[in-house]
Amino acid sequence: MNEYVSLAIFVSVYVLIVGRVRFRIPIWASMLIGAVLMIVFHVISPEAAFKSVQLDVIMFLFGMFSIVSALDRAGVLRFLAVKMLSRAKTPDRILLIFVVGIGSLAAFLVNDTIALVGVPLVAYISRHAGIRPAVLLIALAFGISIGSTMTPIGNPQNLLIALQSGIDLPFTNFVKFLAIPTVVNLFLTYYILRAYFKKDMMLANLQGVTLESAAIADMRLAKISVGVLIATISGFFISEVLKFLKVADISLSMIALSGAAALYLLSRNRKEIIQNVDYTVLVFFAAMFVVTAAVWSSGAVPMIMKEIPVPMHDNPLQSNAIISLTSISLGQVLSNVPFVSLYHYVMVQNGFTGADVSSWMMLAAASTIAGNLTILAAASNIIIIQASESRGIRAFTFLEFLKIGALVTLVNILVYYLFILVI
């Protein structure tokens, strides 16, 4: 009985998320409602719900969000983006910068944050250069999804895999397996978009386009936040060297939290920085852990998975293909973060351990690239749409995104699949 109750609650949460505009309920609140209902209807006990919340993920996100908040408040993120765009002398180069340049920032600064930074730039460029906003918004969406794939800190689902899979040296393995195909995919996506939107780009006029607001807003905070960011990312790599040498095992979450602590200690803008942290994402994750744990423990996922081929950990050719197809298909229904949180249980139950690195990397790549097929498969797509529409900019439609997204997703997933299989 519990499996049907959990499924009913899960579907209700999904309906609320999809119909967020009609129901006027934020995504985080919809997931929180689902978590509460799972406890109220005794699908999961309060004690089990509390234990299901993975504090290392919450701590990591808080640490990174604090650093990004400082970078944003100091004007560093906008400074970097504007500097890149100031080098654009042709419409094609603008497209290249949005896909490859800004997309690459997402590998280290979380794609959702870069989505928020990119929308104002799209508004400015499209207004002054005569480029249809939807073109640059789609380029931004594809770029940050692809770019975020190459590291465990590029997007939330990668972080879940890094912390839950048990793989050794997650940062090293992500870069080893995903950096090269990610760079290849960024450039391939640029060429696809350039050909697809050729007529739109021909109408652009860059004469008179100037980007004047590239000054750092707070130089002291900028120096501190950049220094902390560099130290934190260096810490990720150093921790893996120490772990490899069997000297110490320091988690990614502790490094990110230490970086945030140093930031708050050195900065004079503590109150502003901590207020600017996106706590709704933290609430979403805490609630999502409860919902997915309840759905799994109720037996609903195993019941559904009986109808879907399962990956075999001793057969990379089969397992990576199944993981890719399942990620792209179910990712459109569940969105990438809840999907990875649930599918992790499936892989572990079928014998996957930290030793099956290529399969976990395939899950990271496929679940992220699934966000380039439809707008519902990635939170960053929703953020771009909401941020652009709040500025009065007509964003891309579901169908417009799907038409070009289908081709981009197919090309991207083939590149990742072949590279991971060969390496």
pLDDT at 201 over 60: yes
At which residue do the structure tokens 């953020």 appear?
383
CA dist 99 and 372 (Å) reads 13
Q: Which of 410, 307, 316, 289 is nearest to 44 (CA)?
A: 289
Q: How confident is the model at residue 187 (pLDDT cuts 50, 70, 90)?
A: very high
Q: How far is CA 264 from CA 76, 240, 250, 270, 335, in A?
A: 17, 25, 21, 5, 33
27-41: string of b/e by CB count within 10 Å (b at 16+)?
A: bbbbbbbbbebbbee
Extents of the domains making up the chain: 2-422
Tokens for 314? 């001793």
CA dist 107 and 57 (Å) reads 17
Residues 6+ apart with CB under 8 A from 8: none
- DSSP-based three-state secondary structure for 321: helix
Q: Following DSSP, what letter does each residue of 193-232 receive, concatenated?
A: HHHHTHHHHHT---TT------S-S-HHHHHHHHHHHHHH
For the chain, what percent of residues have pLDDT higher than 90? 35
**If you ran DSSP here, which 8-state letter would residue 311 be given?**
P
Sign of CA dihedral 122, 133, 64, 361: negative
pLDDT in tens, 61-86: 888 889 888 988 888 877 776 776 67
pLDDT at 18 over 70: no
Tokens for 261? 């602590």
- DSSP-based three-state secondary structure for 18: helix
Q: Following DSSP, what letter does each residue of 230-287 receive, concatenated?
A: HHHHHHHHHHHHHHHTTS----HHHHHHHHHHHHHHH-S-HHHHHHTS-HHHHHHHHH
The answer to whether 32 touches 287, Cβ cutoff 8 Å, is: yes
What average pLDDT score do residues 301-330 get?
A: 86
pLDDT at 263 over 60: yes
CA dist 43 and 35 (Å) reads 10
What average pLDDT score do residues 159-165 get?
A: 88
- DSSP-based three-state secondary structure for 344: helix
pLDDT at 129 over 70: yes
Per-residue model confidence (pLDDT) at position 110: 77
SS (H, E, C) 113-180: HHHHHHHHHHHHHHHHHCCCHHHHHHHHHHHHHHHHHHCCCCCHHHHHHHHHCCCCCHHHHHHHHHHH
- In terms of Cβ atoms closer than 10 Å to its own Cβ (0-12, 13-18, 19+), residue 87 is exposed
Residues 6+ apart with CB under 8 A from 369: 145, 146, 149, 327, 328, 409, 412, 413, 416
pLDDT in tens, 78-110: 777 677 667 777 888 889 989 998 899 899 877
Tokens for 232? 């934190």
pLDDT at 120 over 60: yes
Q: How confident is the model at residue 207 (pLDDT cuts 50, 70, 90)?
A: low
What average pLDDT score do residues 256-265 get?
A: 94
What average pLDDT score do residues 4-16 get?
A: 84
pLDDT at 366 over 70: yes
Higher per-residue confidence, 251 vs 321:
321
What average pLDDT score do residues 394-423 get?
A: 91
Tokens for 298? 């109720």
- Single pTM value for the model: 0.79
CA dist 302 and 294 (Å) reads 12
CA dist 22 and 201 (Å) reads 34
Helix/strand number for the chain, H first, E second? 23, 0
